[in-house]
Amino acid sequence: MRALSKNDDAVATTVILNADLRPLGVSSGLLIMENGRFIQVLDMRDRDQVSLSGARVVDAGGRTMLPGIDDSHLHGYEYGRSLTAHDFRGSADLQDFQRRLADARPEGSGWIRGIGWDDSNVRGTGPRGTVCAADLDVSQPQIPALLGDVTGHQAVCNSTALRAASISADTPDPPGGSFVRDEHGNPTGLVYEAAVGLINDAMPSLTIAEQRNAILAGQRALLEQGITAFTDPGLGPGARTLMDGTGDLHAVEAYQQLDREGELRMRVNIMLLFGGLGGTRASDVASGLDAWGEPFRGGPFTHLDIAQLKVFADGIPRSRTAWLSEPYDDCSCGHLQVAGDTDDERVEELKAIVRAGASRGWQVGAHSIGDRTITAYLDAVEQSGAWEGLRHYVIHGDLVDHHDLERMAGLGMALNTNPSIRWMVGRSVSPILGDERNVRRQPLRTAIDTGVQLATSSDAPVMDPDWQMIVASAMTRSLRTDPEYVDHQRLDAREALESLTSAGAWQSHAESWRGSIAPGMAADFVLLDRAADWSDPWSLPELGIAATVVDGDLAHGDYS
């Protein structure tokens, strides 16, 4: 019998009894933790092998316990900004949008920054019903305002902001971005992708204190939802084009400060971003990485890694900027969003970008939605000569084909995709993509069966960081607009959970010490408020989070 002791000089031992670990292998578990790690994981039938003397004993009472959730593509800083800047998520229509803007208050910079409106709800008076500066000018027109949408790929500003940025009919569209214009060629205030950066350039930077507050606000909210780790995909000079445009290198410094001070309680992997949503040049990536220095991995049981490079290889179907082999509804096919005037030039630029990162030891993750983009990216990885062991990965990968999944498996790559976004979008982009191509996006089952490491994620604040919704979406493949839809790409409960735990750890080169409940692993876990019914996936989002534990310490809630 193993005796558990506790004294003033020893590390406290915690024993958790009657934990439901299904579908990960044990129906009623007994777990022993010391010094922030699991040291034994047993079945309750083996309880007589353990003495509880001197230990802290927690009776889970049959509630579900899972490894800490790793949301491996979550804009943690920008999620925090959605909580500390003005939140436009859920705006029901233009009038609601305008009311929220009227209630907004400028930041210390004198600008109003907001995030989260959705153009499927907010229809304005601009061309083709788009929202425009005139729609914003009815609310606080004297204060410059820039409001990013829910996707992070477009924003709208008011007339004061257009003037502050010196944007006029003579301003050309930047590489990888565009201004929506009226019949006279004047920018309306709605800007796509790289064009967002031209407005952001006119805004004063946030202070590091404001950026720290955003990170801490996001951390609190994520821990409340059972998330213990995330990859923040895209901080650095390129972030001027992304979401609210404030995720620069000072935001990275804010993360580093919080880590040094012991305030970063979650495990965070940062992806550096150079070039942004469009027009990225390999020379900018190379010079940026050289100025930064070597990739940094903190090692086992640490809380901060900065060893990944984010590349926006293409855009999104909604704006017809993902690069496809078969055309959109308007007969265009999109194209790569990196620098270059022709498809051939852009393909060569992408190869040079990947080579610049990989040759310096950086793990590259490329936003690649269109099938032609994914093929070009895999060509770039293969030809870089620097892929073995780095675990480069495809981000989103909605329209990946079977041949490229086989190539990814051979290159040791992962697919990081977003089932809850597919659920939310539903059939709304079927008129753009065609219904068959739209509904078969994100081939989860084929990816796993082909041997590709599959990680799922929320892409928050694009979606709420609701891992239960991700699991339900992956297990059912249903659509918000078609709840009865089903196809053969469904995952079972174990696969869906592993895509949010051990797969995220694998992506972060950390699977040897976190991402699962096993002896020697970090004691990062989530305890639900009752037992989960895995036979009914859509009951999962109704479960509450009783406790979130990191390093064996309560980070949210309690065991009661």
Whether residue 133 sits in one domain with residue 194: yes
Residue 245 lies in a domain: no
Q: What is the pLDDT of residue 542?
A: 96
Whether residue 108 sits in one domain with residue 37: no
Per-residue pLDDT of the chain (560 residues; tens, 9 = 90+): 344 443 333 458 999 999 999 988 777 899 999 999 999 999 998 888 888 888 999 999 999 999 999 999 999 999 999 888 888 888 999 999 999 999 999 988 899 988 888 888 999 999 999 999 999 999 999 999 999 888 878 899 999 999 999 999 999 998 878 899 999 999 999 998 888 888 888 888 889 999 999 999 999 999 999 999 999 999 999 988 887 788 999 999 999 999 999 999 999 999 999 988 888 999 999 999 999 999 999 999 999 999 999 999 999 998 899 999 999 999 999 999 999 999 999 999 999 999 999 999 999 999 999 999 999 999 999 999 999 999 999 999 999 999 999 999 999 999 999 999 999 999 999 999 999 999 999 999 999 999 999 999 999 998 999 999 999 999 999 999 999 999 999 999 999 999 999 999 999 999 999 999 999 999 999 999 999 999 999 999 999 999 999 999 999 999 98
The string over 349-381, giving b where at least 16 C-beta atoms fall within 10 Å of a residue's C-beta and e elsewhere, is bbbbbbbbbbebebbbbbbbbbbbbbbbbbbbb
What is the domain extent for residue 9? 2-62+519-557
If phi over 0 gives left and psi between -120 and 50 gives alpha, with beta otherwise, what is residue 293?
A: left
Whether residue 295 sits in one domain with residue 438: yes
Looking at the DSSP bridge assignments, the partners of residue 192 are: 154, 178
Separation of CA 346 from chain center: 25
Whether residue 183 sits in one domain with residue 115: yes
Whether residue 547 sits in one domain with residue 408: no
Q: What is the pLDDT of residue 390?
A: 97
Q: What is the pLDDT of residue 1?
A: 39
CA-based nearest residue to 391, from 418, 362, 368: 362
Helix (H, G, I), strand (E, B) or coil at 439: helix
Q: What is the pLDDT of residue 10?
A: 45
Whether residue 478 sits in one domain with residue 527: no
Whether residue 160 sits in one domain with residue 94: yes
Residue 132 and residue 126 in contact, taking contact as beta carbons nearer than 8 Å: yes
For residue 420 the two structure tokens come to 């809850």
Residues 13 and 4: their CA atoms lie apart, in Å, by 7
The string over 94-126, giving b where at least 16 C-beta atoms fall within 10 Å of a residue's C-beta and e elsewhere, is beebbebbeebeebeeebbbbbbbbbeebebeb
Structurally, how many domains does the chain consist of?
3
Look up the pTM and report it.
0.90
To which residue do tokens 């790793």 refer?
70
Whether residue 126 sits in one domain with residue 7: no
Whether residue 96 sits in one domain with residue 46: no
Whether residue 369 sits in one domain with residue 327: yes
Whether residue 374 sits in one domain with residue 425: yes
Residue 441 lies in a domain: yes
CATH of the domain at 13: 2.30.40.10
Residue 116 lies in a domain: yes
To which residue do tokens 């041949």 refer?
403
CATH of the domain at 323: 3.20.20.140
Residue 209 lies in a domain: no
Residues 113 and 153: their CA atoms lie apart, in Å, by 15
- Quick one: CA torsion of 362, 367, 371, 377, rounded to 10 degrees? -20
- Measure Cα distances from 272 to 23, 155, 305, 389 in Å: 36, 22, 11, 19
Q: What is the pLDDT of residue 196?
A: 87
Residue 499 lies in a domain: no
CA–CA–CA angle 420, 425, 429 (5° rounding): 150
CATH of the domain at 183: 3.10.310.70
For residue 62 the two structure tokens come to 């049959």
CA-based nearest residue to 420, from 457, 453, 370: 457
Residue 498 and residue 505 in contact, taking contact as beta carbons nearer than 8 Å: no
Q: Are strands 227-235 and 69-71 parallel, antiparallel or unpaired?
A: parallel
Q: What is the pLDDT of residue 152?
A: 76
Residue 414 lies in a domain: yes
Residues 78 and 242: their CA atoms lie apart, in Å, by 9
Residue 506 lies in a domain: no
Residues whose CB falls within 8 Å of the CB of residue 40, separated by 6 or more in sequence, listed in order = 2, 30, 31, 32, 50, 519
- Measure Cα distances from 172 to 186, 190, 194, 349, 469 in Å: 11, 14, 12, 22, 42
Whether residue 444 sits in one domain with residue 385: yes
CA–CA–CA angle 385, 386, 392 (5° rounding): 125
Residue 293 lies in a domain: yes
